[in-house]
Chains A and B, each alone.
Chain A
Amino acid sequence: QKEVEQDPGPLSVPEGAIVSLNCTYSNSAFQYFMWYRQYSRKGPELLMYTYSSGNKEDGRFTAQVDKSSKYISLFIRDSQPSDSATYLCAISDRGSTLGRLYFGRGTQLTVWP
Chain B
Amino acid sequence: EAEVAQSPRYKITEKSQAVAFWCDPISGHATLYWYRQILGQGPELLVQFQDESVVDDSQLPKDRFSAERLKGVDSTLKIQPAELGDSAMYLCASSLAPFGSGTGELFFGEGSRLTVL
Contact = CB atoms under 8 A, between A and B. Distances in A.
B105 A46 contact: yes
A43 B108 CA distance: 5
B48 interface: yes
A98 B111 CA distance: 22
Contacts of A99: 98-101, 104
A100 interface: yes
B110 interface: yes
B44 interface: yes
B1 to A, nearest CB: 12
Contacts, number: 66
A100 B111 CA distance: 19
A99 B100 CA distance: 4
Contacts of B72: none
Interface of A: 4, 6, 8, 32, 41-46, 49, 88, 90, 92-101, 103-106
Q: Which 8 A-B pairs have the closest CB atoms?
A: A99-B100, A103-B42, A43-B108, A99-B99, A97-B100, A105-B42, A105-B41, A103-B43
